[in-house]
């Protein structure tokens, strides 16, 4: 079992995500530069938070053209697991791996705070370790976390049960209180809150552990099939 964490110029959560995979979940993990062109041999790919390429243009827009992106798209198309967190969520949307877009928070200001989330779909590779409708608390830290999609896309997301996490008290104006969602196939997740910052009690909570436990169990289950 092996995970890759893609590091873009401006990423600042790559080490945090690698630590959660490697030291907390016990998954062998490499940090892979966005200038690489292959992701062969990895079961899970993490796209971390930060300010890729300084967040010029739109957040994640420049990163979506990085040399690693064709390999990331191929990994996802072949059923590989992908998780994008915060800026990683923005990058996945810009690259077309997830529907919709992240725009400025309704307050037009950066928000850094713990937020309560409801786990509304536990039948995914990213959430199967949680209980249905379980409330968890994860930190957010973003200026452009306001999820938007057109009405038809939103209807499809809801009908297909692609929404995995919702805010209990929406902090940024995201439509339908969406905090995290998957692609139609269910193997790519984007979420604005940071589970990798909530995996040790020393850091204030362990509610993010379920994301990494879920991924680990999914890879083990796939290997046993």
Known catalytic residues are 86, 194, 196
The tokens describing 168, both together, are 């209990």
Q: What is the Cα–Cα distance from 82 to 90, expressed in whole angstroms?
A: 13
Among candidate residues 211, 198, 195, the one with its CA nearest the CA of residue 128: 211
Q: Which residues make Cβ contacts (< 8 Å) with residue 23, sequence separation at least 6?
A: none
Find tokens 């923005």 and name the residue.
90
Q: What is the Cα–Cα distance from 185 to 205, expressed in whole angstroms?
A: 31
Q: What is the Cα–Cα distance from 221 to 225, expressed in whole angstroms?
A: 6
Please answer whether residues 206 and 198 qualify as being in contact, where contact means their C-beta atoms are separated by less than 8 angstroms: yes
């Amino acid at each position: 079992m092996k995970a890759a964490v893609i590091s873009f110029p401006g990423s600042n959560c790559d080490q945090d995500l690698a630590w959660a995979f490697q030291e907390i979940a016990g998954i062998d993990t490499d940090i892979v530069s966005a200038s690489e062109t292959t992701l062969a041999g990895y079961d899970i790919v993490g796209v971390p938070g930060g300010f890729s390429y300084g967040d010029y243009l739109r957040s994640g827009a420049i990163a979506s053209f990085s040399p690693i992106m064709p390999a990331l798209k191929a990994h996802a198309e072949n059923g590989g697991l992908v998780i994008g967190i915060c800026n990683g969520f923005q990058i996945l949307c810009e690259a077309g791996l997830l529907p919709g877009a992240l725009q400025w928070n309704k307050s037009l200001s950066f928000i850094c705070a713990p937020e309560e989330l409801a786990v509304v779909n536990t039948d995914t590779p990213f959430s199967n370790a949680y209980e249905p409708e379980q409330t968890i608390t994860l930190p957010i830290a973003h200026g452009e976390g306001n999820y938007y999609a057109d009405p038809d896309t939103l209807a499809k997301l809801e009908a297909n049960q692609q929404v995995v996490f919702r805010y209990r008290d929406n902090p940024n104006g995201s439509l339908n209180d969406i905090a995290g969602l998957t692609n139609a196939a269910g193997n790519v997740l984007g979420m604005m809150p940071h589970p990798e910052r909530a995996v040790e009690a020393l850091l204030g909570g362990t509610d993010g552990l379920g994301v990494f436990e879920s991924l680990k169990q999914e890879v083990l289950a796939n290997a046993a099939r």
